[in-house]
Amino acid sequence: MTTAEVEVRNPSGLHARPAAEFVRAAARFKSRIRVENLTAGRPAGEAKSILGVLACGVLKGHRVRISAEGEDETAAVPVLVALIESGLGEPLGG
């Protein structure tokens, strides 16, 4: 299993549009990918399910852990971390 942690800096957290962006990216990998909200301490959700990602309740400033298990796990995690760091298509203030 490959894991990494990253802070979400989108102004409204992982709400509709950034969550959709993230789920679409996760769906491109074969591995089972999960996302866990470390700040809120909620159980991990499936990264390929928008309902699973929304249910993590990720707000601005929250840290999340992304873990992948499967043949392309080492490729998946850094791509998804970089995507979150880049703001998932949203401008990040400051």
Partner 1 sequence: MNAIRLEGTAAAPGVAVGAVWRYAPGDPGAGAEAETASGDPAAAIRSAADEAARQLEALAERVRDLGRPDDAGIFEAQALMAGDPMLLDEAIRRAEEGERPAAAVQGAAAEAAAMLAGLEDELLAARAADVRDVGARIVRILTGTALDLPEGPSIAVADDLPPSVTAEIPPGFLLGVALAGGSRTAHAVILARGLGIPAIVGVEGLLGAADAAQEEVGGADLVAAMDGESGEVVLDPGPTEAEEFRARAVDLAGRRARAASLRDRPAATRDGERVVLVANIGSPGDAPRALEARAEGVGLFRTEFLFMKRQTPPTEAEQVAAYREVLEAFGPERPVVIRLADIGGDKAIPYLGLPAEANPFLGVRAIRLAYGSRDLLRTQLRAIWRAGALAAVTPHVMAPMVATVADVELLRSLRDEARDGLLAEGAPCAAGMVTGIMIEIPSAAILAPELALLIDFFSIGTNDLTQYLLAADRGNAALGALQDALHPAVLRTIAGVVRGADAAGIPVAVCGELAGDPAGAAVLVGLGVDELSADAGSLDGVREALAGATRPELDALAAAAVAAGDAETVRGLAGQLLARGLERLAAEAGAGRPRAAAGRG
Q: Which residue has the tokens 């990998």?
A: 29
Question: Do the beta carbons of residue 86 and residue 12 sit within 8 Å?
Answer: no
Residue 62 near partner 1 by CB under 8 A: yes
Task: Identify which range of 28-36, 43-51, 64-72, 75-83 contacts partner 1 by CB under 8 A.
Answer: 43-51
Q: Which of 23, 25, 76, 84 binds partner 1 (CB under 8 A)?
A: 23
Judging by beta carbons within 10 Å of its beta carbon (0-12, 13-18, 19+), is residue 16 exposed, middle or buried? exposed
Q: Under the rule (CB under 8 A), what is the footprint of partner 1? A: 11-13, 15-17, 19-20, 23-24, 39, 41, 46, 48-52, 54-55, 57, 59-62, 93-94
